[in-house]
Structure 1
Amino acid sequence: MLKRLKLDTKLLREMDFSILIATILIVLFGILNIYAAMRPDNSDAKKQLIWFGVSLVVMYFIILIDYNILRNFVPILYWISILLLIYTKFMGATINGATGWIKIGSLFQIQASEVAKMALIFMLAKKMDEMELKVNNLKNFMILAAYTLLPVALIVIEPDMGMTMVCFFIVLGIFFCAGLDIRIIVGGLSSLVVGIMLLWNSGLIEAYQKRRLVSFLNPEADELGAGLQLMQSMTGIGSGGLFGTGLKLSQDAGTSYVGQFVPEKQTDFIFAVIGEHWGTIGAIVLLILYGILIYRTIKTARNSKDVFGSIICVGMASYFLFAILQNIGMTIGIMPITGITLPLVSYGGSSLLTTVMSISLIINIGMRKKKINF
């Protein structure tokens, strides 16, 4: 029994330790900044640390099993995620205007859309593998579109515009790398613009959410309202300068500008905490770690022995690229303010767990690679 729980030495030699190390460093850096943002209350940092411990245990078991066995459970995960989205719409907890969380006791909560995001990547990977990447076949394309639209539609009506955008760009990255006709991609982008216009006037998006989304264009116009969060975020980041103000963990949260004045600093605006305490140098170090993670993920995609493994890696690389750009961009005023968190850094147990599980699969795929042209 114990032998089954031991990782094969030959496989261990194939492990991409750069992905593992980069992931661990990013998460620990995130926990440190969550603590810095919320001090003297360290409950969020403690919960994030617990979630990380759970994630590492899950990671080990995922790495043990050949990912080709795990693909058999993809449909189950996909349909469970659909049921979770439906459940949260009617029975879930509402946070910041979106009904997308399932509470577990009084301490923990799971965001259903985080599970659905990963389930969508896995399902598209499984289907494209079965289709042998023939995504320009009309029947195949319609099947893939149906699997995509079902969870995305449920996320839209939560409403969760941030996660909707994430899913769209994940699917866009997957279809592009799978060789979908560029005319279809352009048509999809055009449809997105039309869809956003219809959604904007549908009544699903509240007036305060609209003001928040467009506030980045002119935050000074409503400094005490929709533009407050962005103005305070940019002030905090600017105060960090090149080297940052440093961490003064023994002092009260009031000594930190971001900790005192920026709402949602442990989640959506965690980069403002990083900018203030660590400065430009700290932000660059974080981006280098992300760069290593994305580069090695893309390399794993190219070296995967099958389409299933390649598409999972492409989907995760697409997620990281968009989420990092969007999250950092919204804290410095170049992107609209949405609920997109900074991967592996922002506070959120379900987000951390699902992301680490997906990274575990990337490591798994790399350990069992066989050169193919992709």
Structure 2
Amino acid sequence: MLDKFKIDKKLLRQLDYSIIIICVIIVLFSCINVYSATFRSLGIYYAKLQFTWLILGLVVIYIILLIDYSMIGNFASIIYWAGIILLALNDFVLGSTHKGATGWIGIGSRAIQPSEFAKLGMIIMLARLLDDMEGKVNEPKNFFKLAFYSILPMVLIVIQPDMGMTMVTFFIALGIFYVAGLNMRVILGGLAGIFALIVVIWNSPLMKTYWKGRLLSFISPEAHGQGLSFQLNQSLMGIGSGKILGEGFTKGLQIAGNNVPEAHTDFIFSVVGEEWGLIGALVLLFLYGLLLYKFIKIAKNSKDLFGSIVVVGVISTFLFSIFQNIGMTIGLMPITGITLPLMSYGGSSILTSFMAIGLVLNVGMRRKKINF
């Protein structure tokens, strides 16, 4: 009975344990920074929860590694449509509104973010379809089919509205289409279409005044003073005050004064910058870079197209989320609700990140045929 829950030793020899070690280090660093941002009001509460998500995430990785990723691909439709149903339930039936977006379904005292799980379903579905199509993405019938499965979750996320997660899903699809070899004219045409759609949405009721204000404050933060630019201005002050070595653990004045809203979630990088300085920020970026490098190696060495595209989808998710989240804390990108992978507090974010990492490890572990 217990043998069903054991991974064959021959497969374990192919597992890249360094990826797990890097992820654990990042989440432990997250726990330290989450504690620093919240201990004055809630003690160890959030840091303890974040550590709990780490343990659960490692369990999730182990469970995913038990199942050959090609078998997971066989259930791509079920996984994808389960995510779509969750999004629909969130949008029209069960969702709770937080800061202008209906992006959460409450379960007791906790809540889940369906869009986090739906984006994984989209990655698996697109990979399965491309594998079935033998990578022939430029055939019109295939392209429109892939486009449909990409656009549907985006539409349901726009309805919430969650502009940050919409951007993530868009760049997942863009990354997959690009690597699959989609004609560049089609990609550029798609980008032009997206720009036109943004103009339409900007002038429609879907684009809340709140989101317009956030975008305008990013373009000209000094013009908004302590209004819509307050969060960005405080973040910049905190990161700037950290200088080279930082002000020290729990010593950041901006964080101590609770001057950076959402410091333990969306703006966790502000805590890193203020308390650990440029050195701490560079170490974190190095760990992310190393992680992405290892992901790319696995994508290149995958034994099939399905595995390769799954990993490309995960790379796209991490790469854009890291760029967008850090960019918004230093004024290079508009402020959105995108979390910093493995660093920002949050169960849905941490668990789906570990699920994605589990899929990558699964592809890497089974890159060769094992002879029994």
- TM-score interval, smaller chain: over 0.9
Specify the alignment match of 2:84 in structure 1: 82
Structure 2 residue matching 1:109: 3-state secondary structure: strand
Q: Can you give the 5+ residue segments of structure 1 that lack an aligned partner in the other structure?
A: 250-254
Specify the alignment match of 2:325 in structure 1: 327
Select which of 122, 125, 144 maps to 1:142: 144
Matched, 1:24 2:16: no
Select which of 96, 99, 106 maps to 1:96: 99
Structure 1 residue matching 2:97: 3-state secondary structure: strand
Structure 1 residue matching 2:241: 3-state secondary structure: helix
Q: 1: CA distance between counterparts of 2:96 and 2:52?
A: 22
Cα-to-partner distance string for 1:82-116 (whole Å, 9 max, x where unaligned): 1111111122111111101011111x110011011
Indicate the RMSD between aligned Cα atoms, in angstroms: 1.3
Specify the alignment match of 2:13 in structure 1: 13
Q: How many residues align?
A: 365
Specify the alignment match of 1:225 in structure 2: 227
> Structure 2: which amino acid aligns with 1:141?
F
Specify the alignment match of 2:37 in structure 1: 37
Cα-to-partner distance string for 1:279-315 (whole Å, 9 max, x where unaligned): 0000111111101110111110000011110001111
Contact 1:48 1:348 in 2 (8 A): yes
Q: How far off is 1:370 after superposition? A: 3.6
Contact 2:135 2:180 in 1 (8 A): yes
TM-score, normalised to structure 2, is 0.96
Q: 1: CA distance between counterparts of 2:52 and 2:368?
A: 36
Q: 1: CA distance between counterparts of 2:208 and 2:188?
A: 29
Specify the alignment match of 2:352 in structure 1: 354
Q: How far off is 1:70 after superposition? A: 1.4
Q: More deviation in 301-310 or 25-34? A: 25-34
Structure 2 residue matching 1:298: 3-state secondary structure: helix
Cα-to-partner distance string for 1:252-273 (whole Å, 9 max, x where unaligned): xxx6412410111111111000
Specify the alignment match of 2:294 in structure 1: 296
Matched, 1:270 2:271: no
Matched, 1:58 2:56: no
Q: 2: CA distance between counterparts of 1:57 and 1:31?
A: 18
Structure 1 residue matching 2:75: 3-state secondary structure: helix
TM-score, normalised to structure 1, is 0.95
Contact 2:24 2:54 in 1 (8 A): no
Q: 1: CA distance between counterparts of 2:145 and 2:231?
A: 41
Q: 2: CA distance between counterparts of 1:54 and 1:112?
A: 18
Contact 2:238 2:255 in 1 (8 A): yes
Contact 2:129 2:146 in 1 (8 A): yes
Q: How far off is 1:223 after superposition? A: 1.5
Question: How much identity, in percent, do the aligned residues show?
Answer: 56
Matched, 1:258 2:255: yes
Cα-to-partner distance string for 1:179-231 (whole Å, 9 max, x where unaligned): 00000000011011001111111111211221112212211111111110000
Q: 1: CA distance between counterparts of 2:98 and 2:77?
A: 29
Q: Can you give the 5+ residue segments of structure 2 that lack an aligned partner in the other structure?
A: none
Select which of 239, 242, 247 maps to 1:240: 242
Q: 1: CA distance between counterparts of 2:250 and 2:172?
A: 38
Cα-to-partner distance string for 1:228-263 (whole Å, 9 max, x where unaligned): 0000000000111101111138xxxxx641241011
Contact 1:329 1:335 in 2 (8 A): yes
Structure 2 residue matching 1:100: 3-state secondary structure: strand
Structure 2 residue matching 1:180: 3-state secondary structure: coil
Q: 1: CA distance between counterparts of 2:82 and 2:294?
A: 30
Q: How far off is 1:46 after superposition? A: 2.0
Specify the alignment match of 1:205 in structure 2: 207
Cα-to-partner distance string for 1:144-195 (whole Å, 9 max, x where unaligned): 0111111110001110000011111111111000000000000011011001
> Structure 2: which amino acid aligns with 1:74?
A
Structure 1 residue matching 2:111: 3-state secondary structure: strand
Q: How far off is 1:5 after superposition? A: 1.5
Structure 2 residue matching 1:39: 3-state secondary structure: helix
